Amino acid sequence: MTRPLFHDSTLMSFAATVQATEGQALTLDATALYPEAGGQAADTGLLRWPGGQARVTGSRKDKTTGLIWHTLDAAPPPAGTTVHGEVDRDRRWRHMQRHSAEHLLAQAFTQVNPAFTVVAVSMTSPECSIDLSGDPAEVHVRAAETLLRQTLARTELTLRTPVVPETDLHHYPLRRDTKVRGDVRLVIFEDDQGAPFDVSACGGTHVPHASMAAPVVILRTERIKGGVTRVTFMAGEEASTYLSGVYADARRLAQDFSVPVERLPQRVQALSDDRAALHQQLTALHDTHARALRDAAPSETHGALALRAVRLPDPAGLQAALTGLPPQTVVVALAEGGRCGVASTHPDVNAGTLLRAALADAGGKGGGRPDLAQGSTTHPDAFLSAVRRHLSAPPSRDACLDDPASL
């Protein structure tokens, strides 16, 4: 097996011997490069040996053999070679902050309500997540975030990572049970009196002081399946960078709106209200214009039926052109973009059947009720011609027009 050196999270360089190679991968007798596991992404780094070097682009642990395999961007040296490894410090630091924040945030949720237990985690990108059972509401989410923020600001929590036999685990207030057997590595964040804030069985890398994971910011929550809520968060420097960017964007918007940043939400709400009012006015104008065009359209006679055909400059008025008809009226409407519709208050004309028959001839899709039907076509002129043709057909040849059962 490979001896894990990464349990000392501050160890960034090491020496080891190549045990075996396979393609562009190798395994060492010891490594400070963390393999992907427990929701934490793998470390990257550099391996050097006499006459060569290669980047480590990924790592995985074989659970059967205990060997950790490192994938390189070049051919590895042969077995028996001594290599000197370096861990990418910035990447490791981000991973430490994310993983520690995950433990601390999970504990905060547990303290808000013990029913909020972690069922899955992901920390492979700046936006990390924990999946919680217990169905936390927004009030619980904000309570957990506040509790953790106050804890990190007011209490110095230090990392301790003892390895204890599983028979001694009952002496520790584990946040959740562990499936690990034999000797178990614990990750404990405790205050200067030795009182633990969080105790978890974990083999990952962590910051030496909990405050180094701050700030921990919850971005959003979503229900992903029955009883499980995903909480997405950011931590540490990544969270600070994100919040700084958000503030800079908010400040630019506030300047454009001539308000201070703290009044930006009210200003945006006011603009949203204005937009809604203008949208209502525009809709009313579209409706009025569409009905005026419809009422001004000449009446065409098709057999014993009269038809009004109207072309609209905007599809927003289509619904209005097809509603509010007087009795014994049939209207066909065409709008920009291929939208089309048929409306009927004539007892012998089924709008839905007529629309579908015309679309079958002209090409398109749609449907509707006996009084109103809508659809779309790429050949509006052919559609209009088809409507006229079906209306002019003798009842015996086009009986579907007055047969509601044909819908």
Do 175 and 300 lie in a common domain? no
Confidence (pLDDT) at 395: 53
Dihedrals phi, psi of 214, to nearest 5 degrees: -80, 155
Average pLDDT over residues 202-210: 95
Do 221 and 346 lie in a common domain? no
Do 125 and 194 lie in a common domain? yes
Given pLDDT bands bounded at 50, 70 and 90, which one contains residue 304? confident
CB-count burial class (<10 Å; 0-12, 13-18, 19+) for 299: exposed
What pTM value is reported for the model? 0.74
Confidence (pLDDT) at 407: 37
In a domain, 258, yes or no: no
- Residue with the two structure tokens 């969270």: 239
Range of the domain at 190: 93-244
In a domain, 255, yes or no: no
Question: Total structural domains in the chain?
Answer: 3
Q: What is the pLDDT of residues 177-187, one digit of tens each?
A: 888 888 999 99
Q: What is the pLDDT of residues 107-164, one digit of tens each?
A: 999 999 999 999 999 999 999 999 999 999 999 999 999 999 999 999 999 999 999 9
In a domain, 279, yes or no: no
Do 41 and 17 lie in a common domain? yes
Do 315 and 401 lie in a common domain? yes
Do 101 and 75 lie in a common domain? no
Do 115 and 228 lie in a common domain? yes
**What helix, strand, coil percent values describe the chain, rounded to 5?**
35, 30, 30
- Residue type (1 letter), 73: D
In a domain, 14, yes or no: yes
Confidence (pLDDT) at 396: 43
Q: What is the pLDDT of residues 256-300, one digit of tens each?
A: 999 999 999 999 999 999 999 999 999 999 999 999 999 999 999
Do 35 and 177 lie in a common domain? no
Q: Which of 52, 87, 122 is the last residue of a domain?
A: 87
Cβ atoms of 198 and 174 within 8 Å: the answer is: no
Do 397 and 313 lie in a common domain? yes
In a domain, 135, yes or no: yes
Do 141 and 202 lie in a common domain? yes
Average pLDDT over residues 74-94: 96
CATH number at residue 332: 3.10.310.40
Do 220 and 338 lie in a common domain? no
pLDDT at 406 over 60: no
CATH number at residue 223: 3.30.980.10
Beta-carbon neighbour count of residue 277 at 10 Å?
A: 10
Q: Which of 190, 209, 244 is the last residue of a domain?
A: 244
Do 129 and 236 lie in a common domain? yes
Helices (runs of H) and strands (runs of E) counted in the chain = 7, 22
- DSSP code for 80: T
- Joined tokens for residue 272: 């949203």
Phi-psi map region of 364: left, alpha, beta (phi>0 left; psi -120 to 50 alpha): left
Confidence (pLDDT) at 107: 98
- Residue type (1 letter), 2: T
In a domain, 121, yes or no: yes
pLDDT at 401 over 80: no
CATH number at residue 30: 2.40.30.130
In a domain, 333, yes or no: yes
pLDDT at 403 over 80: no
Q: Which of 87, 120, 140 is the last residue of a domain?
A: 87
Identify the residue with better confidence: 348 or 404.
Answer: 348
In a domain, 266, yes or no: no
